Structure 1
Amino acid sequence: MPNWKQLQRLIVNGYRSLYRVNETFFEGVTELPSGSVLTLRGNTESHPERYWHPQITRNNSLTFGEAVERCRHTVIEAVRLRLRADVPLAFCMSGGIDSNTLNIIYNLADFVNKLAFGLVIWAAAMQNTSLSKR
């Protein structure tokens, strides 16, 4: 059965509003938490289990500049690894800092068959338009 509330969220507020709740487009079906898996075995009750537990360690020996350089290198390397392909590539850009960072790295890199395009969501465009008029 359709979840009309979730469909209304999408139409009125755009796709970004969908992830503020764990509902889906189907009534009674919810999303799993990030980094979780659900294994079904017969008729027994099941619960999501975390498969990823991030390990955060503080390194006080790094200077600010070293931390910035390490972060820059890590992001660039992650993008480089994920852009390996023998076909033209494209990705969806929301206009936020994450997608703009990826776009800059992507366009500065020397990749064959580059294709970047942006997808502008109506709500985001309206928000940016109203901000630019101030």
Structure 2
Amino acid sequence: RRRGLGERVRFIRGRDTRFLMPALDGLLLTSAYEGMPYVLLEAFAAGVPVVSAPTPGLGEWLGGEGLALVAEAPTPEALAAALLQAQQDPHRRASLRARGRAWTEERNLERMFRETLSLYRSLPARSALAP
């Protein structure tokens, strides 16, 4: 508010993001180190376009899969440039939304169950492993 952003930015605390996520224009992931954060999965599922810092491992994967627009550097200037690029390119935003949604739809609970069951079925029977 002190910087005059009150009309453009909302700081919301203590809310369940699942209900707020679909209202976002985008998600900025600025982590220096990260595995697979839930907020990223929630953004994908809600169709929110993601802009990410070039976090080691995660940044390369996100960019390679077309799931996020990855900044060239982890600097405020590079992140701002990536945000601006995403904001000004409606086709890029639409692609990020679609890729994120498709990625989460492919990795649902039913698929996890099928793949886990398939793995268990591919293992040798216990008696075959016994001495």
Between structure 1 and structure 2, the one with the greater Rg is: 1
Q: Fold conserved (TM > 0.5)?
A: no
TM-score range, shorter-chain basis?
Answer: under 0.3
Structure 1 length as normaliser, TM-score?
A: 0.25
